Amino acid sequence: MSNPLLVPINQLIDYAQIKAEHIVPAIEHLLAQAKEAVNQVNDQPVATWDNTVTALNNATEQLWRAWTVVGHINAVINSPALREAKTTCLPQITEFSTWLGQNEGLYKKYKQLSESAESASFNAEQKRAIELALRDFRLGGVELQGQARTRFGEISEQQAVASQRFSENVLDSMDQWALYITDESQLDGIPADAKAAFAEAAKADDKTGWKITLKMPSYLPVMQYATNRDLRQTVYKAYATIASDQAGKPDLDNSEVIEQLLRLRAEESDLLGFQTFADLRLETRMADHADQVIHFIRDLAQRALPFARQDLAQLKAYAAELGLSDFQPWDAAFVSEKLRESQYAYSEDEVKQYFTEPQVLQGLFDVAQRLFGVQFKAADHSVWHPDVKAFDVINDQQQLIGYLYIDLYARAGKQGGAWVNSERSRRRTADGLQLPVTYLVCNFSSPQDGKPALLTHDDVITLFHESGHALHNLLSTVDEPDVSAFAAVEWDAIELPSQFMENFCWEFPVIQKMSSHVDNGDSLPLALYQKMLAAKNFQSGMQMVRQLEFSLFDMLIHHQSQGLTIQQVLDNLDQVRAEVAVIIPPSWHRFPHAFSHLFAGGYGAGYYSYKWAEVLSADAYAAFEENAVTLADGSRDTLHASTGLRFRDEVLAVGGIRPAADSFKAFRGREPSADALLRHSGLSTTEAA
C-alpha cells in the first residue's frame, strides 16, 4: 500500500507522493487483478446484474482510475521518467482494453442479461447501461473472427501509440523552441506584466533579457501587442510549424504520424463494416451521418461568410491606415487589437487588470451556487503541483457530493490548452456512495511581482467553459458509472454545458461580482463593460468561419475509404480554406501537425461537435434570457434560480441515462433552434450585404 496508485477506490489519491517508479508496478498489478476478475465474471453460469455489470465495474474501475491519473500527471507535470513509464504501460493497457471490448463471453453475458426475466425490473440507468454496452461491444470488434480480430487488436494498439507520439511531439516541439531577446526595444508595445513574465522565464534559464516561448501566455501578447513586425512573423511561423517538416526537427515531425493514424482509422472502420471513419464515429453521436454534418457546417458557413468578408475588409482597411498595406496573417491579431481599441476605446490589457484570478474564481463559484445550489469549499487535499487548488463540492443540503482540483497556470512540461477530466465517477455500491473526482486544467499567465494572476476576458470565458464540463460530472445523480456524463453523453452534445456557462461572462451583474482591479479593488465600470459588450461580436464572422474551417477539414479527411498522404491532407485543407476561410495562411503553414484535438484528443471526425453543441447551448441559455430580471441600473440578471435548477436536473444531473436530444427537449420543451446562436453571434442574415 506504499504505492499511491493502489489506494482503495473510495480513498483520494496522494498526488504529492506519486513517482514515476510507481506507475509500472501499479498498472501491471491492477491489470492482472482485472483480468482475473473478468474471467470470474465469465465463469458465472447465469448472468445477473450483480455478477455481471457490478462485478465488471468492480474488476476494472481501480485500473481505469489509476490509468487516468497516469495520463493526467503526464499532461501536467511531464518528465522523461513519467513519459517512459506511461509508454511502457500503454501497449498493455491497449491490449487489455481491446481484449475487454472483444470478449465474447462478456458480450454473451450482456445479451443474456438484456433478454433475462430480471431485465424487466431494471431501472432507466440499468437499461441504458446494457444498451450502450452492447453497442460498444459491437464497435469494439467483438463480432470479428480470426485474422480480422487479430488485426483489430493490432490497430488499436498502434493508434494508441501513435496518438501518444503525436502529443509528445507537439509538447516537445513547443518546449524546445525559445527566443531570447536582449534589446528591450524589440518588445515595444507588449504589456508590462507579459514582459515581466518573459524576464522571469529568462532568469529561470540563467540568461539575461527576456524569453519568449510558444505557450499561450507568451505567444498571445506578442501577436496582439508587439509593434515589431519581424518579431510577430518569427513567433507566428514557429507556432504555425510546430511538430512539422518546417520546424527543423525531423525527429518531432508529425507528418508520418498523421498518415499512420488516418490509415489505421480507415482500416478499423472497414473491419467493422463502415465505409469511413466518420461513419463509424457517428454511430455514437447525435448526428446521423457524415453528409448531415457536412451540410450543417456548410450551411452555417454560408450564413457566416458575408460577415467574415466584411470583417476582413475592415481589418485590411485599418491595416493600411497603420502602414501595413501588404497585410499578412501575422498582422491579424495585432491589427485586430488596434482596431478594437480605436472602435471601442479599450484594450484587452485594460480589461485584464480587473480580472484577478481569486476574484474570478469566487465569481464563478457564486454563479454555480445561485444557479445550481452548489458550493466549493477550499480543502487541504494532496496535489501534484503547488499551483493546484483543491475543493470539496457541497450541495444545497450541505452534503459532500464531489471533489474538484483546479490547475490554472502554464508552465514547462504542461500540455497546452484547457480541459476537464474525471479521475473517478459517481457510483453507488454496496459500501455506499462513491463521489466523483474532477480535474479542471487551464494555461493562464501565473502571478507576477507578488500580485495575483491576471486573466484576460477570454481566459475568464475559458474558465467558465471548463467549469461547465466539471459541473456535468460533479452534479451527476447517476448511480451507474457506465451512463455517467463523460462515459455516455454523445460527443456532439458534451459541449452543451460548457458553452452554456460561457454566456454568463457577458452579464454585467456577474462581471461586477467577479472583477476587482489589481491595484485598487474596484469592480469593472459600467462604461467599460458597455464597450466590451459593443465589441462582443467584433469579428464574429471571422471567428465563426475559422471554427467551421477546422470542422469541415476534420470531417472531410475522415470521410474517406482509405488513408491519405500528408500532401493529400494539406490539399484537403487548402480546398476547405478556398471554400470557407477568409484569411489564407502561407504555404508553409502546418496547422494539422499540432491539431491535437484530432490526432491525440479524441475529436477525430468530431470537431464539428463544438458548433453542433453551440446551437444547443445558445438555445438553452435563451431560456435564462426569457426569465431574466431587469435590475435598477437597467442591466439584466439571468441567474434565474428555478431555471438553473431545471437545467441542473434535466441536463447536468442525468448524465447519459437518455439521449442528449431527449434531455434538451425535457429542459426546453421543444427541438433546438439555431436562431439564438446566430443572434448571440450578431450573424442575423438580414444584416449582411
List, by residue number, the catalytic residues: 466
Please measure the distance between the N-terminal and C-terminal CA atoms of the chain and give it in whole angstroms: 69
Contact present, 163 and 599 (Cβ < 8 Å): yes
In whole angstroms, what is the distance from residue 657 CA to residue 124 CA?
A: 7
The sign of the dihedral angle between the CA atoms of 662, 667, 672, 674 is negative
In whole angstroms, what is the distance from residue 508 CA to residue 533 CA?
A: 9
* Per-residue three-class SS string for 128-191: HHHHHHHHHHHHCCCCCCHHHHHHHHHHHHHHHHHHHHHHHHHHHHHHCCCEEECCHHHHCCCC
Comparing CA positions, the residue from 459, 614, 608, 457 lying closest to residue 536 is 457
As a whole number of angstroms, the longest Cα–Cα distance in the chain is: 80
Torsion of CA 410, 345, 687, 464, to 10 degrees: 30
In whole angstroms, what is the distance from residue 331 CA to residue 232 CA?
A: 7
Contact present, 511 and 351 (Cβ < 8 Å): no
In whole angstroms, what is the distance from residue 467 CA to residue 471 CA?
A: 6
Q: Give the number of residues written for the chain.
A: 689
Contact present, 551 and 297 (Cβ < 8 Å): yes
Comparing CA positions, the residue from 517, 526, 522 lying closest to residue 631 is 526
Neighbours of 536 (CB within 10 A): 13
In whole angstroms, what is the distance from residue 460 CA to residue 357 CA?
A: 9
Q: Which three cell numbers stand for residue 337?
A: 487589437
The sign of the dihedral angle between the CA atoms of 499, 501, 502, 504 is positive
Distance of CA 399 to the CA centre of its chain: 29
